[in-house]
Amino acid sequence: MRYVSTRGGIEPVTFSQAVMMGLATDGGLLLPERFPQVDDETLKRWAGLPFKELAVEVMLPFVGEDLSRDELTDLVERSYATFSHPEVTPVVEACDQHILELFHGPTAAFKDVALQFLGNLFELLLERSGGRLNIIGATSGDTGSAAIYGVRGQERIDIFILHPKGRVSPIQERQMTTVLDENVHNIAIKGTFDDGQRIVKTLFSDLAFKKDYRLGAVNSINWARILAQVVYYFYAWGRISGGDTEQKATFSVPTGNFGDIFAGYVALRMGLPVERLILATNRNDILSRFVNTGVYQAGEVYPTISPSMDIQISSNFERYLYFLMDEDPNRVCQLMEQMASEGKLEVPLEKQAEVQRLFVASAVDEDQTRQQIQETYQACGYILDPHTAVGVYAARKYPGSVCLATAHPAKFGAAVKEAIGVESEPPPSLQGLMEKESRCEELEADAAAVKAYIKSTLAR
Ligand SMILES: *Cc1c(COP(=O)(O)O)cnc(C)c1O
């Protein structure tokens, strides 16, 4: 399997190259040249498989010659051994919906599904090449902790995560800073999340520094993250259909960067029987506006009770645009240029109709989110986290949907308590965090200061 860029400016690369490259060198995003096709007989067989076995089957055709079946099996085993539920991503029933619980990993949010895998994959590829990697990222909460747990203790990787001091929730801060492995470096900057992102961008655009220090990124543009997420769409379908290929599923996905829902689109393109994809956003609604109007235009970012979706520009959207534009990189380039110069892009009417044949979208506000947490709790005793509640609210007209549960409710306990008056029991991974020893460096919100810290840390 080879990978191409949405902007058409690179020679096709292998799976390993795609994983190490992250963003394509022409500024586009990497995609497999074509999707492996899954026939009905295979779907039936896959429907009976446990998660880890299924993960190997789904991912194997994408890794090409780069990993043997045994190597992939070993990676998958180790990546999901850290999940506390024997089914890894179980499907449970709540009122008239199926809930796909994706939060049983070490940081209690769905990003663990991809980042546990990516961390181990990086380690394997680096062992082979004899190289090292320094991961640098800025976080507003969830991604940082999931990335840290993905690579903690690995010998060939150091990770530096910037978070805005005092501006992430106490649980999120402690999740990051109580990881004491030598290769984990938390930096609290005296500034905002935007300052953190700006600093990371500055460091990455310093090409000499980037090369000398082998900087790597872990944001959701990495193809391996999408790939790992494709698995649970097949898994959930198998659980609710029992392998009956006449049964199509509707998935409701709380969406920010379009990574999770794009994985659902990939599953569909491989042959999974999908009826529709419900794209659920909070008040930060650029993507739901796109589905409903064909115009993609950023607005202001509003803070909400589902903070991991407080995003206006979605880094994975370009991947979908590529398929919508019939895999023509020139048209993608035109649209992205339009976006850069005018701050918006618009697709033709017939394309808008194509979008709406598959996606339905809604933007769910905070009152509706709290109302959904309340109603689901009262009607069937199940506690939704605010992100998941956004998806469940958006799926109201579609009973029998698979609603992706992207975080454990205890992780966003304050919002949950406000809605239903009780807090959800924290999973073992979130217990005792406040008492644990922690380590964190405090720095000014200044790229030069962060760079100096990275250099001196790595010189030790
Ligand atoms: C990251 C995140 C999302 C959004 O996922 P995308 O892949 O960015 O669309 C939703 N819910 C939670 C809890 C998250 O951490």
Q: pLDDT digit of tens for each residue in the chain (460 aa)? A: 999 999 999 999 999 999 988 888 898 999 999 999 999 999 999 999 999 999 999 999 999 899 999 999 999 999 999 999 999 999 999 999 999 999 999 999 999 999 999 999 999 999 999 999 999 999 877 889 999 999 999 999 999 999 999 888 888 999 999 999 999 999 999 988 888 888 988 998 888 998 899 988 777 789 999 999 999 999 999 999 999 999 999 999 999 999 999 999 999 999 999 999 999 999 999 999 999 999 999 888 888 999 889 887 888 999 999 999 999 999 999 999 999 999 999 999 999 999 999 999 999 999 999 999 999 999 999 999 999 999 999 999 999 999 999 999 999 999 999 999 998 999 998 999 999 999 999 999 999 999 999 999 999 8
Which residue from 226, 257, 288 has its CB within 8 A of the most atoms of ligand 1, so it is best to mutate?
257
Residue-level pLDDT at 156? 96
Whether the CB-CB separation of 281 and 364 falls below 8 Å is answered with yes
Q: Please give the number of the atom of ligand 1 that sits closest to the Cα of 142.
A: 15
| Rounded Cα distance, 139 and 177, in Å | 13
Cα 330 to Cα 350: distance, rounded to the nearest angstrom? 19
Closest residue by Cα to atom 14, ligand 1, is 308
The tokens for 163 are 């978070």
What is the helix, strand, coil percentage profile of the chain, to 5?
50, 15, 35
- Cα atoms in the Cβ-side hemisphere of radius 13 Å centred on 12: 8
* Rounded-to-integer distance, Cα 155 and Cα 175, Å: 21
Report CA(275)–ligand 1 centroid distance (Å).
Answer: 22
Cα–Cα dist 312/425, whole Å: 32
Does 111 qualify as catalytic in the annotation? Answer: yes
Across 366-379, b (16+ Cβ under 10 Å) vs e yields bebbbebbbbbbee
**Domains annotated on the chain, with CATH:** 91-108+224-427 (3.40.50.1100)
